[in-house]
Amino acid sequence: MAVEKRLIAVAGVLMKRVFGAGLVAVLLAGAFATAQAQTFAAAPNLAEQYLQEAADQERAERNLPPLRRDLALVAAARQHALEMVQHNTISHQFAQEPDLAARGAAAGAKFSLISENVAESPSAVKIHTAWMNSEGHRHNLLDPNVDSVGIAVIARGHQLFAVEDFERRLTPLSLKQQEGAVASALAPLGIGVAESDASARKTCAQDTGSAGPRQAEFVMRYTTANLSLLPEQLRSRVATGKYVTAIVGACPAEESSNFSMYRIAVLLYRQRNTY
């Protein structure tokens, strides 16, 4: 079964399959609590190691980078695997269980994109092979937009229940680091980027206008998961040549969903700032 969730849009493949024979993993009962799931997150079992190595090999063969193991996402995957063990079936969400994004966020993962593969089989080898032979599962595993993974494999008797959660991880950065990254993206556009200040950060937190002793001629506020990618509207404004100075202000993004983003304001001036 495969599903992919992105910011705003939701897309994916929902399929349920049972696969064939092979490997026995560590026996764990389905009644374990979240705290116990997190306890095991730091030490992958043999089946989990195999699935991680197999995923990285598939990606390497296609010139894609390996996936970083995110312990928060591992904990989320393991807790969901325990749910599957308890129900003795596979699903992306059981009754009374949060959805994928909520599970990841609750475990402490910070992401702008999250997707999931689940499967049931006696063999980790056959699980990976089946995922690679399914369009939706293969897409999740080979998605160039994800950079991290959390894998959990738990056995019930001789049957393995596997969860593979993928994400595009949002790296925690200070406001100054966020501002520096956007300033670096602006610099090649031929506009002077002045040092960020408290007024720019206050402007970022406002809904309209600009703070400070001098009003900016144009303010672009936006949220993003990629600080090096400037909005097209902002690039077009700068390209007019009317503005000579820009100041970048960062502020905490509103936690309106389980997805994490940076919040940025870029202030454009027709004259250089003198304050």
Confirm if 273 and 267 have CB atoms less than 8 A apart.
no
Q: Which of 156, 161, 158, 181 is nearest to 171 (CA)?
A: 181
Query: Is a pLDDT exceeding 60 seen at residue 205?
Result: yes
48-89, pLDDT tens digit by residue? 999 999 999 999 999 999 999 999 999 999 999 999 999 999
**Where is pLDDT greater, at 33 or 120?**
120
User: How confident is residue 257, by pLDDT bands cut at 50, 70 and 90?
Assistant: confident
* Amino acid residing at 62: R
Whole-angstrom Cα distance, residue 228 to residue 263?
A: 13
Q: What angle do CA 165, 48, 43 make, to 5 degrees?
A: 100
Q: What is the mean pLDDT of the chain?
A: 85
Q: How far is CA 117 from CA 60, 125, 131, 134, 250, in A?
A: 19, 15, 8, 10, 35
Query: Is a pLDDT exceeding 60 seen at residue 19?
Result: no
Q: What is the pLDDT of residue 213?
A: 83
90-115, pLDDT tens digit by residue? 999 999 999 999 999 999 999 999 99
Label residues 158-197 b or e (16+ Cβ within 10 Å = b): ebbbbbbbbbbbbeeeebeebbbbbbebbeeeebebbebb
Q: What is the pLDDT of residue 212?
A: 84
Confirm if 203 and 265 have CB atoms less than 8 A apart.
yes
**Where is pLDDT greater, at 138 or 209?**
138
Q: What is the pLDDT of residue 214?
A: 81
Question: CB count, 10 Å around CB of 48?
Answer: 27
Q: For 22-41, what is the mean pLDDT?
A: 37
Helix (H, G, I), strand (E, B) or coil at 213: coil
Q: Which two tokens stand for residue 259?
A: 């997805």
In which element (H, E) is residue 95 found? none
Tell me the percentage of the chain whose pLDDT exceeds 90: 75
Helix (H, G, I), strand (E, B) or coil at 163: strand
Cα dihedral 81, 83, 86, 87 sign: negative
User: How confident is residue 254, by pLDDT bands cut at 50, 70 and 90?
Assistant: confident
- What stretches of 170-233 adopt beta strand conformation (E)? 192-194, 218-224
120-178, pLDDT tens digit by residue? 999 999 999 999 999 999 999 999 999 999 999 999 999 999 999 999 999 999 999 99
Label residues 20-32 b or e (16+ Cβ within 10 Å = b): eeebebeebeeeb
Q: 98, exposed or middle or buried, with CB in 10 Å at 0-12, 13-18, 19+?
A: middle
Tell me the percentage of the chain whose pLDDT exceeds 70: 83
* Amino acid residing at 117: N
Q: Which two tokens stand for residue 54?
A: 């197999």
Question: CB count, 10 Å around CB of 208?
Answer: 7
Q: What is the pLDDT of residue 43?
A: 82
In which element (H, E) is residue 50 found? helix 46-60
Of the candidate ranges 23-27, 55-59, 81-85, 217-221, the one whose mean pLDDT is the lowest: 23-27
User: How confident is residue 6, by pLDDT bands cut at 50, 70 and 90?
Assistant: very low
